[in-house]
Chains A and B, each alone.
Chain A
Amino acid sequence: MRTGLARFARNRLALAGAAVLLGLVALVALTPLLYPGDPFRLVGPALQPPGGPFLLGTDTLGRDVGAEIAYGARTSLIIGLSATGAAILFGTLIGGLAGYYRGSVEVALMRITEFFQTIPAFVLAILIVAILSPSLFSEVVAIVAVSWPGIARLVRGEFVALGSREFVLACDGLGAGDARIVFRHMLPNCTAAIIAVGTLLIGTAILIEAGLAFLGLGDPNVMSWGLIISSGRAVLRSAWWICTFPGLAILLTVLAINLVGDGLNEVLNPRLRER
């Protein structure tokens, strides 16, 4: 593990990404102190440019763009982490069952997985949110629905490969139960891959959430980066700051997550490690 950390530390881009993410977590943690109260509150005159009493300006209704971004960061993190967590759980379950039991179970589960993969992800997300009506919960459900197949395929592949390895065959021969084999021996050997892919999924989840909110399919009671951008779009040419700052926030966050994900992948993936 120490060598892993050292390898990660040598990757400057990944370090930079990690720094940005740490900053984001700090921002979320400090939000209640920095911007106490509701980010939807009308705190000043509308359309104040940045640099005045409101550091990042105010939006069309006179809300503080800085507060909106801070609370939006919280929403993004909550959605990114919870949707990814749920997608990993569900994808691992489906992929694990398919990869461990093989046969008709595998055929059935993998066809279902592929069915989900054939539908364009964002269209499926829109459809689900439209049916469930927009809320934080329905957004998470939609993101899970479009993210789990990737995890399921990954885990199935790992399980199939591990299933023919000597240590697994030995366990089986010694009479270990399915649960023991799966949870003690096979899953721990997939965690590296799952973490690497899961990290990237957080970025995707944040992007999907922003996209849904931008299209008016976000929870209207929860501040989100996509919501800020969609509210500023109408005045983009006269009040650039409303769209620009949350746009930058999305860009930086997703970029940072991808850099960290790549860095982790490099450290954790044995094939890349041997290079």
Chain B
Amino acid sequence: MSRTSDVTNLSRRTVLALPLGLAAAASGARAAEPKRGGTMVMIVHPEPSTLAHYAVSAGNIPPIATQVYEGLCTYDWDQNPQPNLAKSWEVEPDGKTITFKLQDGVTFHNGKPFTSADVQYSFMEILKKYNPIAPVMLAELVAVDTPDPMTAILRLANPAPYLMKALSGRDLPILCRSVFEGTDVLQNPSANKPIGTGPFKFTSWERGQFVRLDRNETYWKPGLPYLNRIVARFIPDAATRSAAMEAGEAHFAGYSAVNYADLARMKTNPILDLTTKGYEMTPAQSVLELNGRHPQLQKKEVRQAIAYAIDRKVILKDVMFGYGLPATGPLSRKFKTAGLYTDDVRQYDVPDRLDIANKLLDEAGAPRGADGTRFALHLEVNSFGEQWLRQAEYLKQALAGVGIAVTLRSEDTATWLRRVYTNYDYDLNEPFLSQGVDPVYGLNKQFLTSQIRKGVTFVNDTFYSNPEVDRMLGEGARELDAEKRAALYKKVQQVLAEDSPMIWLIDVQYVSVSNRRLKDHTTGPLGTQQAFERAWMDK
């Protein structure tokens, strides 16, 4: 037997063993035999405006939608794809063809059998056309072939190594073709009454109150799920959300549905458990964007000086209540697992950072005036919550320290987004950026010259344009060799950190609070954004 086939054999065996064997072993090692039944109440905040998960990307939809919709794959703790609706797959050496063998005996909640036609329709007719991440993640997808009902072949124009990270039910859910065919996808009744293959069926949605999901009695994974029911409750007031967890009325609050400020108290509560696990594939950063057309901010030295002037540890401690890490560069540390993160970049968090900042500003031709001020800037306050005003207040103080006078401007969300992304009428902006499952998502959106798109929110609004970065990001997206890819992204991070088109503040860390009676709620890196098929209630 050759070495190659040995490896193939091993991986195939692992692949087949995993859905039941390994995961069950993992949970078995930690806790007692799972108990069946019970209702789990989870807090989702804020209430989603729609459950059309396939067409809207908002962090509050997946905790509900992924109970109902599944993807071709799930992911293990090392973020490797594992079989789900696809039982195995093969990537051709040129990286342009991916053949999925599908799970037999799977039915949708409406009783229709799951086949390759559903995969084809989901990818080509729904996700590619309507999913917000499709312009990046499915850009290379040209066709899905269905030689037989249990085989789906994705055909790509160019290799897309990142695609294998995005096959979960959170990112690219598989939908039922017969439900959507011939209808307006966005107006389809199943948008808010989802029909999928998942362990829980959608039962009802009382707006302003809860979504009820009930056990799928004919779920294709034998014996699962353990819970009878999941109720997703919506509680607008932060103090009430915390109280519901402390009173044991709700059993799970993921995706930081509980305010960071309350976590210290929750930690000491004997009935509650806190975990930062389950967000390994949900990287996000808070950043300070600099308008590259501003006469001062277009100077690299000024941008670097601002990066030196800010003490990220203060933001971490006093704004984020200690959850997260000071950012070092354009990628969150969450990309360490994939081998794509590097901290071998220009370091801004150094002991003599204020001296360096002042020196850079002096050299950049921005001397202090008689009152100690060099120049004045406006900072747009992120309107998505109280903590961002705190951050803005800190940033103003920090920049005052090096002679930059900052005026805060707080407006409603619509005005803020229009001012920044349509009118470009801003100097400093403090958004919160999700980075997706692969650097290709966050980096391309923020730094490609082609992503300077007037009127599109959360794309390149700093006017950063560097042909070298454009080229490397383009190559990085297509590079199949993991080492070469990592080298490309390392270089990208070094160039970006040097150019400093924005200031990377915090690698955000979400937190889940759970009742100790609820077991096995976080079984993989997608955490609260994957099905609670193995979760169970003790007693």
Contacts and interface: CB of A to CB of B under 8 A. Distances in A.
Interface of A: 38, 40-42, 46, 60-62, 130, 133-134, 216-217, 220-221, 230-231, 233-238
A28 B387 CA distance: 29
Given A42-B397, A230-B386, A238 B239 contact: no
Contacts of B265: 237-238
B454 interface: no
Interface residues of B, number: 30
B317 interface: yes
26 contacts: A38-B400, A40-B393, A40-B396, A41-B397, A42-B397, A46-B318, A60-B319, A61-B390, A61-B393, A61-B394, A130-B412, A133-B410, A220-B381, A220-B393, A220-B409, A221-B408, A231-B386, A231-B390, A233-B386, A234-B259, A234-B261, A235-B261, A236-B239, A237-B239, A237-B265, A238-B261
Contacts of A238: 261, 264-265
A133 B386 contact: no
A134 B411 CA distance: 7
Contacts of B412: 130
Given A133-B409, A133-B415, A234 B397 contact: no
Contact of A216 (B259, B389, B409): B389
Nearest to B419: A133
Contact of A220 (B238, B314, B319, B410): B410
A220 B318 contact: no
What 5 pairs between A and B have smallest CB-CB spacing?
A: A220-B408, A234-B261, A46-B318, A235-B261, A220-B410
A101 B498 CA distance: 72
B274 interface: no
Interface string B189-210: 0000000000000000000000
Interface string B394-434: 10110010000001111110010000000000000000000
Nearest to B259: A234
Contacts of B259: 234
B386 A234 contact: yes
Contact of A134 (B318, B387, B397, B410): B410
Nearest to A134: B410
A42 B407 contact: no
Chain A, interface SS category: loop
B392 interface: yes
Contacts of B387: 234
Given A61-B390, A130-B412, A134-B411, 16 more contacts: A42-B314, A42-B394, A133-B415, A216-B389, A217-B410, A220-B389, A220-B392, A220-B408, A220-B409, A221-B408, A230-B386, A231-B386, A234-B259, A234-B387, A237-B262, A238-B264
A237 B242 CA distance: 11
A38 B373 CA distance: 15
Contacts of B239: 236-237
Interface in B269-320: 314, 317-319
Contacts of A133: 409-411, 415
B110 to A, nearest CB: 44
B410 A216 contact: yes
A116 B537 CA distance: 56
Contacts of A61: 314, 318-319, 390, 393-394
Contacts of A60: 261, 318-319, 390
A234 B238 contact: yes
A220 B393 CA distance: 8
A47 to B, nearest CB: 8
A42 B262 CA distance: 22
A238 B394 CA distance: 21
A216 B388 CA distance: 11
Contacts of B407: 221
A274 B333 CA distance: 78
Nearest to A42: B397
Contacts of A237: 239, 262, 265
A224 to B, nearest CB: 12
A71 B319 CA distance: 23
